[in-house]
Amino acid sequence: MASHRKSRPAGTRVAGIRTPALATAALTSVALLSQTANASPSSDDKPSLEEVEKKVDDLYRQAESATEKYNAAKEKTAKQRKRVDTLLDDVAKRTQTLNDAREELGRNAAAQYRTGAAAPDTATFLLADTPQDYFDQSQLMDRMTGRQKEAVDDYFTQQSATMKKRQEATRSLETLTESQNDLQTAKTTVQTKLADARELLSKLTAEEKARLAAIEKRKQEEAARKAAELARQQAEAERQRQQEAQQQESNEPPSDSSSSDSSYATKAEKALAFARSQIGKPYVWGATGPDSYDCSGLTQGAWKAAGVDIPRVTYDQVNAGTTVPLSSAQPGDLVFFYDDVTHVGLYIGNGMMIHAPKPGAYVREESIYYDGESSIHSVVRPA
């Protein structure tokens, strides 16, 4: 059962891919369960098997939606904390500079006091032993007055800059606190939804668990059939593309599209090699490896291994590349699911992908139709 829903505003539709508003595995499950004997509620008001499955499915979706919120809040918090640290360091340096300027003012004032630095007048001239003595004293006082003015100007400049930085640091600290609160809220939501799902599943009898497993098996078989059908369609489309390319080569000079395709294929091969090496590792919400992953953590890590940086969360990853029709999907492309874009897998060809499915599962190869054709949102080529 899938577990990937997040409330997002209804929006665009991607060419070649249908994204209905109610793209949930629960609809498929209800249809299958309606054919299953003894699926109705029992006389003791115990929820039916179909009700339990739908509830668990919804809880897993809500958990992954909260996971993506957690990932986004975690990333924002890390960036904000770094900014706060930088600002606080800057404030400390500016404060030291301000203290130095204050000390300079004090030294200048003391120097003026020791030298009797006041405006020269006729009396000063008359008291001087020689005209040269008067000239030297006047020059000294002029220099001291200039130094003091520079020190005063520097002090107030530093004071104003330090106050602005302190205010900026205060605002950043407030933003950091908000991000940390969002992070904790998302974390609590994930933990609560997963605990609720586990509790519901724990109440199932052995017979009910076996029936759920049978339903899941039928869904996987249907998903495999759809993947094989897509593989045939893509193979036929590729044959036609090659024929058209051969015809164009005889009439037109070769373009650089082939070199571009080759470059992408090289990167995609590295991304897929990384993803395959993670197969069998557990899904853990918020994880980015190396021992466990969530869905977007796996795809980010895979493309990073290929030298391509993509964002952390699904609803940012979906915009980090070129959208292509499902019929044109190539190995390495990112396949996104659900109208709120809360799950992602790495396409490997023939209608299959590598993904971190849900809590309690492991990174694995699976049909992109694992939750029904209508759950597929879009395909994006990240490089």
Number of separate domains in the chain: 2
Q: Which residue among 94, 187, 211, 343 is the active-site one?
A: 343
Domain boundary (167, 187, 203) is at 203
Looking at the domain assignment, is residue 376 inside a domain?
yes
Same domain, 189 and 292: no
Looking at the domain assignment, is residue 257 inside a domain?
no
What's at 10, amino acid-wise?
A: A
Same domain, 146 and 55: yes
Looking at the domain assignment, is residue 151 inside a domain?
yes
Looking at the domain assignment, is residue 9 inside a domain?
no
% residues pLDDT > 70 (the chain): 72
Domain boundary (203, 226, 249) is at 203
pLDDT in tens, 283-321: 999 999 999 999 999 999 999 999 999 999 999 999 999
- pLDDT of 18 reads 41
Looking at the domain assignment, is residue 42 inside a domain?
no
Distance, CA of 80 to CA of 183 (rounded, Å) = 13
More confident residue, 6 or 292: 292
Alpha-carbon Rg of the chain, whole angstroms? 34
Looking at the domain assignment, is residue 315 inside a domain?
yes
CATH number at residue 193: 1.10.287.620
248-274 as b/e, with b when 16 or more CB fall inside 10 Å?
eeeeeeeeeeeeeeeebeebbebbbeb
Report, in this order, helix, strand and coil percent for the chain, each rounded to 5. Answer: 65, 10, 30
pLDDT for residue 150 is more than 80: no
Domain boundary (135, 170, 203) is at 203
Is 295 a known active-site residue? Answer: yes
Structural domain including 273 reads 263-382
For the ranges 115-119, 199-203, 288-292, which has the lowest average pLDDT? 115-119
Q: Which residue among 193, 355, 358, 377 is the active-site one?
A: 355
Q: Which residue among 33, 295, 363, 379 is the active-site one?
A: 295
pLDDT for residue 55 is more than 90: no
- pLDDT of 136 reads 61
Is 377 a known active-site residue? Answer: no
pLDDT in tens, 251-288: 665 555 555 678 999 999 999 999 999 999 999 999 99
Pick from 330, 57, 334, 350: nearest CA to 223:
350
- Say how many C-beta atoms besides its own lie within 10 A of residue 181's C-beta: 12
More confident residue, 33 or 92: 92
CA distances from 90 to 83, 104, 268 (A): 11, 21, 43
Looking at the domain assignment, is residue 82 inside a domain?
yes
Same domain, 128 and 271: no
What is the reported pTM? 0.65
Same domain, 199 and 270: no
Is 4 a known active-site residue? Answer: no
User: Can you tell me the mean pLDDT for 4-20?
Assistant: 41
Distance, CA of 334 to CA of 5 (rounded, Å) = 17
